[in-house]
Structure 1
Amino acid sequence: DTRQARNHWGMQRTMVSNLVEGVTEGFTKVLEINGVGYRAQAQGKKLKLQLGYSHDVDLDVPEGIEVKTPDQTTVEISGIDKQAVGQFAANVRKWRKPEPYKGKGIKYRGEYIFRKEGKKK
């Protein structure tokens, strides 16, 4: 066994395990939106985000992914493909990453935002 063969075996095992888990349980990422006036709304195959820009951000939801908004500040992204769910969640988050001073932005549930102190007079 070469080192490369062992690496490939581990990768294949993980991918098959993810496929099985995706079909049986599914994968879910939960995003939380913090900030005054920041909100999200799922409209069919579109996700409408209001993130403090002069325009609304409309994102097309890819095939095989389901988006729910239980309330205006929570977005639940679920599907059977771990990579696709994670990629779409990252695409949503990149529109407003959490900032360290007030913590405004879109973060994953359970993600810790390193907070900084503001300037002192």
Structure 2
Amino acid sequence: MSRIGKKAVSMPAGVSANIADGVLAVKGPKGQLTMPMSDDISYEIEGEGVLVKPANETKRARAFWGMQRTLVQNLVTGVTEGFSKVLEINGVGYRAKVQGKTLNMQLGYSHDVDFAIPEGIDIKTPDQTTIEISGMDKQQVGQVAAEIRRWRKPEPYKGKGIKYRGEYIFRKEGKKK
């Protein structure tokens, strides 16, 4: 039995859910998010929340149960609060700034790196070495953060590169004489 799956997803005031054509749609103050429903899981909309249960007693249904409940919770959180990730840039001359719908980064290459900001994502640069990524869809926010980080991953000797806020970079000792 899934401990997470047993709990109903509570919906705060101003949030509504709708099931139609195999798609669960959640609407809230920030907008609307949809998720395709799994055949192994049954979804029931009750007065104050969404209840997720396995549709049958197969191993696959029990395995998907907790994950599907968490995905529904992410939809509700996304339309009410949203999600955010913060990236930090370390390195001499490394900086970033938002110009319209592109993120312009100088990361030690011979050219500037321009990253097109996708729809549904908001990127802010409060200072030259901090990038704040926010949006409704948790998966999309994480994917954009990973794509930006991929341009210059932190290296283990000096720690130069783009890292998540709070991420620990395992440091190596340099060359000895």
TM-score range, shorter chain: over 0.9
Aligned CA-pair RMSD: 0.6
Look up the match of 2:124.
68
Q: Which has the larger radius of gyration?
A: 2
* Residue ranges of structure 1 left out of the alignment (5+ in a row): none
* TM-score between both structures, scaled by the size of structure 2: 0.67
Distance 2:168 2:128 in 1: 21
Identity of aligned residues (%): 79
Flag the structure with higher helix content.
Answer: 1
Secondary structure at the aligned position of 1:76 is classed as strand
Distance 2:156 2:70 in 1: 34
Flag the structure with higher strand content.
Answer: 2
Distance 1:113 1:65 in 2: 27
Superposition misfits of 4+ residues, deviation over 6 angstroms: none
Aligned partner of 2:163 among 107, 110, 113? 107
Look up the match of 2:42.
none
Choose between structure 1 and 2 for higher RCO, CA contacts under 8 A separated by at least 6 residues: 1
Secondary structure at the aligned position of 1:70 is classed as coil
Distance 1:8 1:97 in 2: 33
* Residue ranges of structure 2 left out of the alignment (5+ in a row): 1-56
Pairs aligned (count): 121
1:22-72 per-position Cα deviation (integer Å, ceiling 9, x unaligned): 111110000000000000001121100000000000000010000000000
